[in-house]
Structure 1
Amino acid sequence: MSFHSSIIKAATAIVLLATIGTASADPPTKPRLMQYSNLWTNSPFTIKPVVEPTTVESPLERDWMLGSIRPSGKGYSVTLISKKDRKERVRFLPGFTTGDWQLIQVQQDVKDNEKSRVQIRKGSQTAWISYDEKLIKIRPTAAAKPTGKTNPQVSSKSGARPPIPGRSSSSSSSNTPRVRSVPRRK
């Protein structure tokens, strides 16, 4: 019996120490709110909002549009047109100054004029100016224009109509409309 009593005494001592240890422990604390912030910011169950980069439009971009770009001997001849007053223009010619305006860089796309743009500076403001599709119609460049060659199989009378049966084929009668006269009663 001594063996059993020593086991019971040891088990009682272990249980007693365990209950005293848990009773003397600190009470549970409220978890910090930011402890779980990773769960709601990186949750696989929520759709993350698309963050669009904010572009601040320069006053130069807002008020001016590209009028023309022409290659010149020493550089480019560039014309800017005011969007507010179309008669107000700024011309950059190689070798001439234009007051406080500076032409910094020209990116001309010969195949697609809508992609052409120039970088300008006026005072401390710098902006990329391009053609404004809403306000100006861009003419195709000489490289993009059709060559004007016609198909040799097409006849010279491309707009001529085939003859109508029962009518005369003279050109004067086909060009002038037929006048219909109705006799009057007396």
Structure 2
Amino acid sequence: MSNPVVDFWFDFASTYSYPACMRIEALATDAGIAIRYHAFMLGPIFKAQGWNTSPFNIYEAKGRHMWRDLERLCAELGIPFQQPDPFPQNSLLPARCAIAGSAEVWQPEFCRGVFRAQFGEGRRIDDPQVIAEVLERAGAPAQTVLEQAATDQIKLKLRTVTEEAGGLGIFGAPSFFTEDGELFWGNDRLEAALAWAKRAQ
């Protein structure tokens, strides 16, 4: 019997997708679950709800609490944290690179590297040089991937994936889908998603 699969949906600009991405691989391995990574863009989904930026910017008190909560969470997990400036960052380039590497073994490490660069080191993820460095550290052919990310094929695929996220009813990130169609939203629901996937096998 093959391992159950959980689909991990995230936007690289999403704050709580950072700890989720840093945790998911080890937890899934321990549970005997395979993870599929889906980078998408939250912007169009937020716009459909009438927002032109992150709700953490729209609702000041909520945003203030989120940053302190994320700081505590990262300290508890032992991962670095720096509040990025600006927020949210433009995540288009790394999302296209992640999609270009969707079938490659380096994709999970690249995803972790992008989140670490942004939320752990305070770097700009819309900077091609930063993304090139992250790709190289992940063992990917940086120049080749960046060239692929600029093609119409990858641009269209990202738009299609984002539309798919909306069609699935995804309204935020991180989101996790089990094979029987259950949606779990938020970093704090990761363990529940994995447990459900294992039970539903």
- Normalised TM-score (structure 2): 0.17
More helix as a share of residues: 2
Q: Compare CA radii of gyration and give the structure with the larger one.
A: 1
Of structures 1 and 2, the one with the larger relative CO (CA 8 A, separation 6+) is 2
